[in-house]
Structure 1
Amino acid sequence: MSIWYYKIGSCKLLEIKKCQNELQAYKDHLHEELSIGFIEKGATNLKVNGKEYYIKAGEAIVIYPFVSHICQPIDLANWKFTMIYINKDFYKDILEDLNKSHFMGIKKLNDEDYRKINYMIDTMKGNESLIEKEEKIVSVLADIFINCDINIELVKDKQLEEIRKYIEINFLEQLKLDDIVMHFGLNKFGIIRSFKNRYNATPAAYQLQLRVNYAKHLIEENPNLVQVALNSGFYDQAHFTKEFKRAYGLTPKQYLKSIK
């Protein structure tokens, strides 16, 4: 697995990750970034919000932030893909510009699409100004993904969305179901069942995913993995290592080494 970061000063616009012949994540997970995956070789079953999609070489997938998903390659010996993660402070503007209700789906790529994507990546490596790089990202994403071949519907329920936001705000706290029951006036069984049906994760599993995502950001700034685990809500180092690898396909130590 290879990982590149493209930063302008302290601003990280993109993270680009390339994987070949390996399983990148072992369970349902989510990203706070806007995620774009390009299948270069082989095929995979992708589960998003409980629905399954088949994606093959020459196609791309756009996954909305905080949407639970898992990728299950058909044949690891014939599997290669590239992921682009767009910083959360940047994708908000993109989604506002690109009617976000249609900005999630599967897209068949042609030679011109690949040319634009590679040009965008090359632009990130160059000496262009920040505004030039931002414009290139928006322009390329709009050109390629404004009309996906398959649009994936994002199902939302107002109360469940409020519970999700509550967990996102308090994910570092020692949350209890009683806290959610008291805050929203629902019974425990109803919360667990409805939340899992909607987001393909229980509230506890969702909180765990948020902690792992947060730990990933901390590792970029702090090489002390014991402290990272504690600061992201993990009080057991083995548990932290296990969950991180299940989400990203690398242990925290391997991930730290890959980004140095």
Structure 2
Amino acid sequence: MASTSTTSVSELLRAWRTRRHLSQLQLATRANVSTRHLSYLETGRSKPTRNMLERLARHLEVPLRERNQLMLAAGLAPAYPERGLNAPELMAVSSALQSIMDAHMPFPALLLDHWWDVIDRNAATDFLLRGCAAHLIDPPINALRLTLHPDGLAPRIINLGQWRTHLLSQVQSRSERDGDPRLHDLVAELASYPGDDVGHPVLTDVVIPLELKVGDAKLRFFSVSATVESAIDITIDELRVEAFYPADDPTRDAILAMK
């Protein structure tokens, strides 16, 4: 979203409602406020209270980071803290996320932030990084850049066009949903990498697999994401574990043989 230094709270509210493709009547009905009051808030004729902003943000599914922007634009103190992952208050959650990745061994798992930057990973991801250029695996690592860059995993991804289309769709959707300029720039960067063929799904597949060459082996994975749905800290709200599972028995056997 635009900087709160130049954007009023009324403009931000209107922008979020438009982004969610809601009319004033639809949002007012969901939030149990009058359309007149909502109209006054969007034109700046009324100043929203903290409770009203929270109510509207909840029904607009505004991320916690952007909810703080709404508060600041309204002249209110931010409502949601952003602590470091090692902060004492976050230790229970960060330990739980770490335990998920450790328990997923010997299969790869990553802890990612809102922009697909790798915050942590388990040891099973080491084989994924073999042969990747140093400039892609030196921290901070971006999982999407590492995957689709021609100096990264891309040359070893058998169904590159199909997987590339899947990832681009994910980041494009999040960019449009959140209005995040950093995600917008990431979409443009990823789209500039080679790989146009979307490929054709195999009829027996139920998910889009990541098909990867590792030595003489052809490995097939699908991924499952886990998030903390009840987060009220920005850091936790923006984290997720991406766990990769074998999509077939030969992949499972090959991974177990690498132990």
Q: Same fold per TM (> 0.5)?
A: no
**Which structure has the bigger radius of gyration?**
2
Q: What TM-score bracket applies, with the shorter chain setting the length?
A: under 0.3
